[in-house]
Amino acid sequence: MTNHVLRIDASARHDDSVSRKLADKVIDKLSPATVTKRDLSTPLPLIDSTWIGANFTPVDDRTDEQKATLALSDTLIAEIEAADTLVIGLPIYNFAVPSTFKAWVDLVARAGVTFRYTENGPEGLLKGKRAILAVASGGTEVGSDYDFATGYARHMLGFMGITDVSVVAADRLMIDPDASHKTANDQIENLAA
Is 18 annotated as a binding-site member?
yes
**122: exposed, middle or buried (C-beta count within 10 Å: 0-12, 13-18, 19+)?**
middle
Question: Do residues 167 and 133 lie in contact, with contact meaning Cβ atoms separated by under 8 Å?
Answer: yes
Is 166 annotated as a binding-site member?
no
Question: Do residues 168 and 184 lie in contact, with contact meaning Cβ atoms separated by under 8 Å?
Answer: yes
Pairing of strands 85-91, 4-9: parallel
CA distance 181 to 179: 6
Is 73 annotated as a binding-site member?
no
State the DSSP string of 84-135: SEEEEEEE-BTTB--HHHHHHHHHH--BTTTEEEETTEEEES--S-EEEEEE
Question: Do residues 103 and 44 lie in contact, with contact meaning Cβ atoms separated by under 8 Å?
Answer: yes
Q: Which amino acid is at 150?
A: T
Is 19 annotated as a binding-site member?
yes
Binding site residue list for FMN: 11, 17-19
Binding site residue list: 11, 17-19
